[in-house]
Structures are given as structure tokens and as C-alpha cells.
Structure 1
Amino acid sequence: MTTLSDAMTNAPAHPQPPRRQRTMPLREWLAPITLVTVLAALLGTMYLGYTTDPEKHLHDFPIALVNQDVGDTVAGEPTHLGDQITTALTDAVPADKIDLHTLGINEAQRQLQNGEVYGAIVIPGDFTKRVAILAAASIVPGDIEQPIISVLTNPRAGTLAAQIMQTVADQAMTQVNATVGTQLAGQVRAALGDTPLSGAAQRQLATPIDIVVTAYHPLPEGTGQGLAAFFYTLVLLIVGFSGAMMINSLVDASLGFVPAEYGPWHKPTTRAPISRWHTLLVKWGIAALSAPIASAVFLGIGAALDMSLERPLLLFLYGTLAITAIAVTGLSVMAAFGTAGLMINLIVFVVLGIPSSSGTIPLEATPRWIADMAAFEPMHQIYLAVRAILFFDGHLEAGLGRGLGMTLAGLAIGLILGAAATHTYDLRGLHRLGTGPQPTRPAEGH
């Protein structure tokens, strides 16, 4: 039996009060909720804003107009219907939506080959002559060849862009057909006098022009109807962005700056005596070693899936550069801004990048404020380069020159940002604190 004396003897000299569990203050609950709400609003604005109605947002949509018509004599007078149609199209096409380029055939083909225009309307050299023959055939019997205007789409510049080009051309050519038909019917009736026109002749004169729509330099098989360039760009972006996140977490865990957790298990790690600058150098090195491996994996998988790869070596080299630039910049942003760098990278590379990439919807069919972001958004620059390599034989003028230059500029910005931020923090003695046991000797500045 335990006596009171025994109980007093075994009792602790200083009883410990029960530990109170720390609760999160209200502001710590509101911070993640606010961030998620802001991200949701930004995602909704960007992704729904550029897909809702592309034709409504149409602006500066580049189309070439080629007039090769040499003219002819109609009803005893020199006539040049090609000039009349060119003037009518220039006046009728809304200038705020369509950027109509009046070009020669060689320049139009060059711009089609480089993806500078989304299509071309071509009036052939014998257009007026065929119209005159058609008018004469309505009066006297004979064989005729219907006047033709060719509409060339450019599927390599974008699948949706080719569809928009065809829609615009259909609307414009319907108006041209009606105008030429009215003019032609008036001339025929004046020549016939009181003699009535047959029903077939009236129908032929109502729509005298045959609009022939063809694809200029059609896409080969294995291109996903033109979407392969966008999705290849997307995987380069994702592996660079996600790779930077993984490299950052794993390196910090192995150096003892963040907990190394594997499910319910926790691995304590002593903080390494290493500066911020040297830590970033390690992360950059891992990213640089990983980039060519990832680029080679993408290329190998693409070849195994029968993807059209006209310039595989060039695609591998540029893919390596793009992954490296994204990963290096992403790591630098996190080194400079800490946890907030995760949100900054997500917004810059993904949230703002996909809508302004022009990979699915051409920039000229998105709201202007989204199109303006393409001037600096990384994904658009990468898409231009990848599209040029896949669809335009790697021509610098087709976007590879700009994409390559902007990717190198982005890599330089990432290197400068990371070096400047980490050196500044190290010089000011703002060392990182680890989660595990501290080393016996503090880390040096750098």
C-alpha cells in the first residue's frame, strides 16, 4: 500500500504544466485561401478569355492578296477585273480585323513558307479573259472555263488559323461573286436586249467565280493536324518547370535545409555548411545535366510514335536549350523569392504562358491584352522555334531566329537574377537555417 510519504517522495519537484497545442492564427488560414482564389480568378480570366470567341477577338489577321490578272477587252473596252476585285476586297475587308497584304506571287509564297501569313487569295492571270468568255458563252453556244480565284490556307501556321482563313475568304469571296455576277449579268442583258436568259445561264451568271480552297504545303502525317508543335512545346515547358521544382526540393532536403520526408518517415539531415550561391550552382548543374537527357527522351518517344521529325538533331539541341533556360530561371526565381517563387514560376510559365503561346489559337484571334503578352512570355518564344523546326524546315525567318534569341535572353536573365540575389544574400550574412542538427562550423559567406 502506497503511503502519502511515498507519494510525496516520488512526485516531481516541479510539476510540468500540460503543453498547449499551437493553433494557426487567422491570417495564416486566410493566406492560402486568398492565393488559391487569386489563382482561380487568373486561370479563369486567361483560359476562358482566349477560348470563348476567337472570331470576335480577331485583329490584325495577316492574309496575302495576289493579283496576277493581266486584263482583257470586254464589250469593246479594256477591262481589268483583278484590279477591281483587289480594290473591292481592300475596301470591304474590315481593317481592324484583317491585315491584307497586297503582294506579288513570289513574296506571298515566301511569307506562306515562313508562316508570316495565314493564307492567300490569288487572282490568276487569265481571270478577266475567262469572265469575258463566260459572258460571251451566255449569248452564243461554246465551251467555257469558269473563272477561278484560289484561296490558299496555311495549316503549318496553325490549324485554327487555317479554319479562320477559310471562313474569312468564304465571306469575302461570296461578296465578290455577287458583285461580279451582277456586273456580268447586266452586260449580258444589255447585249441580248429583249431576249430572255435561260435558267442555267442566269444561275451561272449569279455565281460566275469558282472559289478553289487548297492547303499550301499540306502537313505530313504524324503532326496531329498541326498540334504537334504546341504539345512538344508544352512538354518542354513542363519538364523544365517541374524539373526545377523537383531539383530545388531534393537538393534542399539532401543539404538539410528542408525536411526529407518519405510518407510517414522523416530522415533527419545535418545542414551542410554551404552558401546560397554554391547551393544554386549545384542546382543549376543538375538542371544542365538533366536537360539533354530529357530532350533525348522526348525525341526518342516522338520517333517511336511515328511523329514527323524533319530536323531531329536541331530539335534535340533546341529542346536542350529550352529546358535548361526554363529550369535555370525557375531555380533562380525560387532562390531570390523563396516560397513565393513557386507561385511566380507557375504564373509566368504556365498560367500566362499557354493562352499567349499561339499554339492552339492564333494571337490575332485572342484579346489584345493576351496577344501583347506574347512579346515576353517564354512559351510563345519556344513555340515559334519548335514550330519552325517541325513545320518550316528550321528557317530562321519562320520563328527559329526569334525563338532562339529570346530563349538565350531568358537564360541570361535567369543566370543574372540567381547570381545577383544569392551573392547579395550571402554578403549580407542572410544564411539559410536548416531543419536538422546544425554543423559545428557556420557556413561561410560564399
Structure 2
Amino acid sequence: MTRPKHEATEPTIPGERTATLRKPLFWAAPIVVVTLLMSLLAALYLGSILDPKGSLRNFPIAVVNQDEGDVAPGSDTRENIGNQIVDGLVSGVPADKVDLQQVGIGQAQTMLDSAEVYGAIVIPSDFTKRLMILASSSVVPGDVEKPIITVYTNPRAGTFGMGLTEAITEPALAAVNEKVGAQLSDQVAAAVGDTPVAGAARLTLANPIDALTVQYKPLPDGTGNGLSAFYYALLVILAGFTGAMIVNTLVDGMLGFAPTEFGPRYVHNPKVEISRLQTLAVKWGVMAILAPVVSGLYVWISHLLSMPLPNALGLWMYGAFAIAAVGITAMSILAVFGSAGLIINLIVFIVLGLPSAGGTLPIEATPAFFGWLAKFEPMHQVFIGIRSLLYFGGGGMAGLTHAIAMTAIGLGIGLVLGLVVTRLYDLKGFHRGVAAQPSEAPAS
């Protein structure tokens, strides 16, 4: 009985195993590489989330002042308390941490609909008028309601962003409420002279404003409280990155460039005479076929799990495009750098991608380094594209146009890198080595 020809037996050198195991580099190399990679993971992941308030910078919130003003009681002077509140908010909020953008109500709604702001503070047109009525009611009996300032949070821009918006606006509005209350109390005291003001009225005047926090266009059920876009984007990146690793290994095995193990079986196929560029083109072709299939499965599984899909076709198309772009680029990196490409891909697509994605924590609440990474890291680009399709109707202003453009740039870089370098390797004669061919061996 002889061993099948497709099953390889590698020649060995006497004493080679013992000598190899005794080399310090044999033990040090994997330990050092894994230790450094895991340390990088810990530093980046923990460093991006531990102090969001301390890392806060340029956090965008819209301020809408519709107040038309009114005449103060016992005076001919027209006042606009809304303007005073805006001035108080601007002076009371650190300008380097929060970007208060004074806009009209229409523009504020557009900014909320395109995820340009995480919230909006809206002062109504009759704000001063209601304050003056409140002041008058402390002297003249009658029914009255406190004026309301509405804070709209934007759940579609990110759940954590809602919490930060509330954490910023609540103390700022409380300080404004106290200041306006003191001003209103002084006006009433000056108007009534020695006439005492009832205790309940004094309490009302001390805190005359009701701040109401509401969600702007709440997310429907089945969105994971705004996390479904991030996890879907992560799935797309993993499909491209992990898919590229699997396709690369399987194709190399079938072409005879690398051995393949199936449990106890060790198979090394005869090498196919094919250039590096042709090999890479074959892998790209497999990924181009695989991408729309996997993207379609993602959409189908999401539908089965009752996840809202307002633009299923667009989600499938962009998902397929992004998977192909990530997979093709990852394969090019492997073709250029060899085995080291696995670590490079892991760092580029996962290690640096997750903390700079902006899917769980707003980019504005992470250290500035992650904001810089988000300008080009693939996971952030894919996330804002998926978020636009799932939460904002696929609007280009909500990030889809930017995501498509950046994904196309990434794909272009991957194609050029792979084409140029593998062609250069072929021209320079850097052909892939021929592994030892299977040999006949007597049965044991």
C-alpha cells in the first residue's frame, strides 16, 4: 500500500526539530507579536471610551431662538429674554467642547435629519410674552403656564450622543433658569413695591422656565436603540476582511502555493504555473462574486429578525460594494506583504477601525487622535453609509454620498496597489516558491 500522491510527506533533517525548538526567536517571535498587538488593542479601545466628557470637542448642538420679545410689566421697554438665554448658553458652555450653532428652525430640522447635530435647543416665539404673563400672575390672580424651552435629542445620530446632549443642556439651562428667575423676581419686586408676593409665586418666579427634553424622530423597534447600524457596518467590514483571509488561504491551497489541512489530513496540491498578478486577479474575482451574495444574505437575515429596512435595495448594493472594496484591498495587502499582511489588515480594518467608527461613542467625545483616524478609516466610512440607509432614508447629506466616495477611493487604492506591486514582483522574477512536491513513500 502506498500513500496517495496528493498527500505530501516533507523531508526532514536529523536533529532539525530539536535545534529549531531551542532557538530563542522561535519562542520570542509569536509572544512579542501577540503581546504588542493585544497591548495596542487595549490602549486604543480603553483610551477611546474611558473619558468622553474630558475628550469632548466641537460637539454640535443647534440653538433656535424664535422669541419675538414683549413689553415688560410696568414699563415701555421691549425685552427679548430669548436673546438673553442664548447669550447665557453661549457664555456658559465651553466653546472648545460644544459647538452651539445658532440657526433657524428649518435649518435645525435639516441638520437633525442629516446627523449634522446631536440635538437642538428651541426657544418658542412667545417665550418672553409667557414670562411676562407669569410675572403679572404673581400679583394678579389667574391661570398661567410656565414658558417651555424644548431640547430635541437626535437618537438616529447615536444613542450615546443623546446622553451627552442631555448632560450638556441640563446644567446649562438650569443656570439660565436661575438667572432669568432672579431677574424676573427683581422686576416683580420693583413693580409691587411694599406689597408682599405670595410664597408660591416667589417659588415659581425663582424657576420660571420648564425645560422639556424630547426625541426628534424616535427610532422604531428593532434597531437596537440605535446600535443596529454600527453592528451591520461591523458585519460588512468583517465580511470583507475575514472573507479575504479565507479566500486567500483556499485559493493558495488549490493552486499549490500553500498546504491545506483537513483534520489529520495534510494536503499540498501540485503548484499551478500562474503569475502573482494572475493569482491576485483570481482572488479578486472570487471576492467580486462573493460580495453581493453575502450582502444579500445580510439583508435577508435582517428581514427575518424584523430589523426595519427602509431601503433594502440600497443597503444590499452599498453592502456589496463595501464588502468587495474591503476584501479586494485586504487581498492586495496580503499579496504585497505576504504573511505580514494579515497583521496589517487586522490593524487597519479592526484594531484602528473599531474605536474610530463612531458607532457607539460620538467621534467628538473621543480623543482627537480618533477623530483624525475617522477621516479615512474604512469602518467609519461604512458606518455612516449604513446609518444613512437605515435611519435617514439614504439621504446623501446624511453621509451616504461621502461613504460611497470614500469606499470608492479605498477600492481604487487597493486595486492600484495590488496591480502595480504584483506586476513589479513578476517583472523582477520574484515568483512564488515551489514547495516540495509529494513523493512516493512506502506504507508504514
TM-score (norm 2): 0.93
- Report the counterpart of residue 9 of structure 2 in structure 1: none
1:304-319, aligned counterparts within 5 Å? 304-319=304-319
User: For the structure 1 residues 138 and 344, does the alpha-carbon distance in structure 2 shift closer, same or farther, using more than 3 Å as the test?
Assistant: same
Conserved? CA contact 1:69–1:128, under 8 Å: yes
Deviation string 1:41-87 (CA, Å, 9 cap, x unpaired) is: 11011100011121121110000000000000003111011111111
Conserved? CA contact 1:329–1:414, under 8 Å: yes
Conserved? CA contact 1:328–1:415, under 8 Å: yes
1:97-136, aligned counterparts within 5 Å? 97-136=97-136
The residue identity in structure 2 corresponding to 1:35 is V
1:39-78, aligned counterparts within 5 Å? 39-75=37-73, 76=75, 77-78=77-78
Q: 1:19 Cα deviation (Å)?
A: 4.5
Q: Unaligned 5+ residue runs, structure 2?
A: 1-12, 439-444
The residue identity in structure 1 corresponding to 2:54 is K
- Report the counterpart of residue 191 of structure 1 in structure 2: 191
Q: 1:353 Cα deviation (Å)?
A: 0.2
Q: 1:421 Cα deviation (Å)?
A: 1.1
Matched, 1:416 2:413: no
Sequence identity, in percent?
50
Q: For structure 1, which segment, 327-336 or 197-206, has the greater mean C-alpha deviation from structure 2 after superposition?
A: 197-206
Conserved? CA contact 1:237–1:326, under 8 Å: yes
**Hey, what's the Cα distance between the residues in 1 that align with 2:323 and 2:91?**
47
Q: 1:188 Cα deviation (Å)?
A: 1.1
User: For the structure 1 residues 293 and 134, does the alpha-carbon distance in structure 2 shift closer, same or farther, using more than 3 Å as the test?
Assistant: same
**Hey, what's the Cα distance between the residues in 2 that align with 1:193 and 1:365?**
50
- Report the counterpart of residue 139 of structure 1 in structure 2: 139
**Hey, what's the Cα distance between the residues in 1 that align with 2:312 and 2:226?**
17
**Hey, what's the Cα distance between the residues in 1 that align with 2:60 and 2:379?**
22
Q: For structure 1, which segment, 195-204 or 265-274, has the greater mean C-alpha deviation from structure 2 after superposition?
A: 195-204
Q: 1:254 Cα deviation (Å)?
A: 0.7
**Hey, what's the Cα distance between the residues in 2 that align with 1:390 and 1:434?**
49
Q: Say which SS state the counterpart of residue 54 (structure 2) adopts.
A: coil
- Report the counterpart of residue 32 of structure 1 in structure 2: 30
Q: 1:322 Cα deviation (Å)?
A: 0.5
Question: Relative contact order: is structure 1 or structure 2 higher (C-alpha 8 Å, sep ≥ 6)?
Answer: 2
Q: 1:368 Cα deviation (Å)?
A: 0.7
Conserved? CA contact 2:259–2:268, under 8 Å: yes
- Report the counterpart of residue 215 of structure 1 in structure 2: 215
**Hey, what's the Cα distance between the residues in 2 that align with 1:43 and 1:371?**
17
Deviation string 1:23-51 (CA, Å, 9 cap, x unpaired) is: 24212322221111211111011100011
Q: 1:436 Cα deviation (Å)?
A: 4.1
- Report the counterpart of residue 391 of structure 2 in structure 1: 391
Conserved? CA contact 1:70–1:80, under 8 Å: yes
Q: 1:385 Cα deviation (Å)?
A: 0.4
- Report the counterpart of residue 329 of structure 2 in structure 1: 329
- Report the counterpart of residue 366 of structure 1 in structure 2: 366
- Report the counterpart of residue 357 of structure 1 in structure 2: 357
Conserved? CA contact 1:270–1:436, under 8 Å: no
**Hey, what's the Cα distance between the residues in 2 that align with 1:396 and 1:131?**
41
Q: 1:197 Cα deviation (Å)?
A: 2.2
Q: Say which SS state the counterpart of residue 45 (structure 1) adopts.
A: helix
**Hey, what's the Cα distance between the residues in 1 that align with 2:33 and 2:434?**
26
**Hey, what's the Cα distance between the residues in 2 that align with 1:170 and 1:55?**
14
Q: 1:268 Cα deviation (Å)?
A: 2.8
**Hey, what's the Cα distance between the residues in 2 that align with 1:152 and 1:18?**
75
Conserved? CA contact 1:256–1:436, under 8 Å: no
- Report the counterpart of residue 182 of structure 1 in structure 2: 182
Aligned length: 422
The residue identity in structure 1 corresponding to 2:244 is A
Q: Say which SS state the counterpart of residue 55 (structure 1) adopts.
A: helix
- Report the counterpart of residue 3 of structure 1 in structure 2: none
Conserved? CA contact 1:335–1:418, under 8 Å: yes
**Hey, what's the Cα distance between the residues in 2 that align with 1:138 and 1:204?**
9
- Report the counterpart of residue 226 of structure 1 in structure 2: 226
The residue identity in structure 1 corresponding to 2:243 is G
Conserved? CA contact 2:182–2:206, under 8 Å: yes
Q: In terms of Rg, which structure is larger?
A: 1
- Report the counterpart of residue 14 of structure 1 in structure 2: none
**Hey, what's the Cα distance between the residues in 2 that align with 1:437 and 1:289?**
32
**Hey, what's the Cα distance between the residues in 1 that align with 2:15 and 2:184?**
97
**Hey, what's the Cα distance between the residues in 1 that align with 2:169 and 2:185?**
23
Q: For structure 1, which segment, 303-312 or 188-197, has the greater mean C-alpha deviation from structure 2 after superposition?
A: 188-197
**Hey, what's the Cα distance between the residues in 2 that align with 1:370 and 1:310?**
30
The residue identity in structure 2 corresponding to 1:305 is L
The residue identity in structure 1 corresponding to 2:187 is Q
Conserved? CA contact 1:63–1:101, under 8 Å: yes
- Report the counterpart of residue 8 of structure 2 in structure 1: none
**Hey, what's the Cα distance between the residues in 1 that align with 2:20 and 2:70?**
89
Q: Unaligned 5+ residue runs, structure 1?
A: 1-16, 439-446
Q: 1:146 Cα deviation (Å)?
A: 1.0
Q: 1:435 Cα deviation (Å)?
A: 2.6
Q: 1:145 Cα deviation (Å)?
A: 2.1
The residue identity in structure 2 corresponding to 1:344 is I
Q: 1:429 Cα deviation (Å)?
A: 0.4
Q: Say which SS state the counterpart of residue 347 (structure 1) adopts.
A: helix
- Report the counterpart of residue 281 of structure 1 in structure 2: 281
- Report the counterpart of residue 149 of structure 2 in structure 1: 149
**Hey, what's the Cα distance between the residues in 1 that align with 2:300 and 2:428?**
47
**Hey, what's the Cα distance between the residues in 2 that align with 1:65 and 1:19?**
77
The residue identity in structure 2 corresponding to 1:62 is P
**Hey, what's the Cα distance between the residues in 1 that align with 2:312 and 2:97?**
37
The residue identity in structure 1 corresponding to 2:429 is G
**Hey, what's the Cα distance between the residues in 1 that align with 2:436 and 2:148?**
79
Deviation string 1:278-331 (CA, Å, 9 cap, x unpaired) is: 000110000010001100000000000100100000000000000000000000
Conserved? CA contact 2:20–2:26, under 8 Å: no
Q: 1:433 Cα deviation (Å)?
A: 1.2
**Hey, what's the Cα distance between the residues in 2 that align with 1:376 and 1:29?**
36
Give the RMSD, CA atoms, in angstroms. Answer: 1.2
